[in-house]
Amino acid sequence: MTTIAAERHIQAVAFKPMRLGHANLFVADLERSIAFYSDVAGVELVRREPGIRGGFHSNGNTHHDIGLIEVAAGVRHGKSGFQQVSSRRGSQPGLNHFGWEMRSEAELIAALGRATDAGLSIANCSNHQISHSAYMIDPDGNYHEFYADIVEKWRSIFNLEREDLVTEAWDWKRSAPGSGPNPNDPKDHRRVEGALFHPRRITHATLGTKRFEEVKSFFVDVAGLSVVAASDGIAMFRGPQSPTFDLLLVSTQHGVAQGLLGISLEVEDEADFAKSRKLAAENGAQILGTLDLPRKRNVLLSDPDGLAVEVYCRRSGAKPVLPKAVDSARNQYWIFTA
Ligand SMILES: [Fe+2]
């Protein structure tokens, strides 16, 4: 049982990341998933890490919006024998973790101090060379990486020439906070010519949970995200750098599955998006559904493991709204109407 004093400590943890930086997925077949995220979804492959069967995709928003690690039995080792993925994880496709971008390493270290004082356990601490990270586990067992970028030019490490293992242990208690914040270059925009879609970045993810109130408390108290809107069993959260929201949490009482339900990629150019939608239909792409709403248009793709990938374009100035729960048997895509 959590005491009132302990609860108060937990409420004070609040990592307060700026935004969702990436989703990292365990995938059944790395090459198939790399081909899908590059050539269909249109997010450029920026790095391969054969030692962990990994691939990373970004169009310049940050070092990676999407990370992929192929499923395997047993431990995945990083640099110098570091246990990067334990043998208990990553044997099935699904969410590996969400990456939450902190403003600076100093803020990350301060938050880790508060988490330790509150008696929370930190699952893993890693030095990824581009960032320093700590992983926390929510009440459903989902992993959340809170990370701070530690280099100005991530492309010097994340590129297709380097394929070395980069991840090793990070001792945050002995770490001097680096020179950050290290903001991303706003002019770094890539476009995968020949891909069906041309998104700028990942904006949010959708998560199903059986323990709605407990997981919601994790996002508010431990992660320190703000609630944009919430109703019975549905909540939207954001960090201060997100223009709209970073995460939609949906209770399984509304007929959704537990775990990662989808990731959403934003296209900024409406005319370009219209062309992509037409091309996708003509090319017989695997499309689960499309929506045309006053606030946005989208296409729902299925990735090679069956994960829903929403590619969308928000109409200029339109604000997202909390989706209304409908009978999932009638319309399982209502969770993508935000
Ligand atoms: Fe990550």
Instruction: Render 24-76 in DSSP notation, one character per residue.
Output: EEEES-HHHHHHIIIIIS---EEEEEGGGTEEEE-SSSSS-SEEEEE--SS-E
Q: Which residues fall inside 5 Å of ion ligand 1, going by CB?
A: 24, 99, 145
Could you tell me the distance, in angstroms and rounded to a whole number, from the CA of residue 73 to the centre of ligand 1?
20
Q: Name which of 97, 103, 96 is nearest 19 in CA terms.
A: 103
CA distance 78 to 273: 39
Q: What is the Å distance from ligand 1's center to 319 Cα?
A: 28
Are the C-beta atoms of residues 16 and 224 closer than 8 Å to each other?
Answer: yes
Distance in angstroms (rounded) separating the CA atoms of residues 147 and 20: 10
Cα 261 to averaged position of ligand 1 atoms, centre (Å):
18
Query: Can you tell me whether residue 77 is helix, strand or coil?
Result: strand
pLDDT in the model for residue 2 = 58
CB 263 within 8 A of CB 64: no
CA of 231 to the centre of ligand 1 (A): 30
Dist. CA 37–CA 47, nearest whole Å: 13
Tokens 């990270």 — which residue?
A: 133
Q: Which residue has the tokens 């954001």?
A: 238
If you measure from the C-alpha of residue 238 to the centroid of ligand 1, how many angstroms do you get, rounded to a whole number?
A: 18
Strand duo 66-70 + 226-231: pairing: unpaired
Q: How many CB atoms lie within 10 A of CB 32?
A: 15
pLDDT in tens, 85-95: 888 888 899 99
Distance 175 CA to ligand 1 centre (A): 19
Amino acid letter, residue 276: S
Residue 5 to residue 51: CA distance in whole angstroms = 45
* 8 A C-beta contact, residue 248 and residue 335: yes
Model confidence pTM above 0.85: yes
pLDDT tens digits for 309-320? 999 999 988 999
- 36 alpha carbon, distance to own chain's centre: 17
131 CA from centroid of ligand 1 (Å): 9
CA dist., res. 287 & res. 308, Å (int): 10
Query: 165 C-alpha vs ligand 1 centroid, how far in Å?
Result: 14
Give the whole-angstrom CA distance, residue 122 versus residue 135: 6
For the chain, which residues score pLDDT lower than 50? none
Q: What's the 22 CA to ligand 1 centre distance in angstroms?
A: 7
Burial class (CB in 10 A: 0-12, 13-18, 19+), 255: middle
Calpha distance 162→308 (Å, rounded) = 31
In the beta sheet, which residues pair with residue 56? 47, 67
Distance from the alpha carbon of residue 24 to the mean position of ligand 1, in angstroms: 6
Instruction: Give distance in angstroms: CA of 97 to centre of ligand 1.
Output: 6
From ligand 1's centre to the CA of 300, what distance in Å?
Answer: 24
**What are the Cα distances from residue 96, in Å, to 68, 156, 293?**
9, 25, 31
Can you give the pLDDT at residue 178?
Answer: 81
The alpha carbon of 325 and the centre of ligand 1 are apart by a number of angstroms equal to 31
d(CA 308, CA 289): 10
**Residue-level pLDDT at 142:** 98
Q: Which residues contact 322 (CB under 8 A, 6 or more apart)?
A: 228, 229, 230, 231, 234, 235, 236, 338
Could you tell me if 151 and 166 are in contact, meaning their C-beta atoms sit under 8 angstroms apart? Answer: no
Report CA Rg, the chain: 19
Q: Looking at the chain, how many residues does it have? A: 338
Both tokens assigned to 20: 């969702």
Q: How far is the centre of ligand 1, averaged over its atoms, from the C-alpha of 37 (Å)?
A: 17
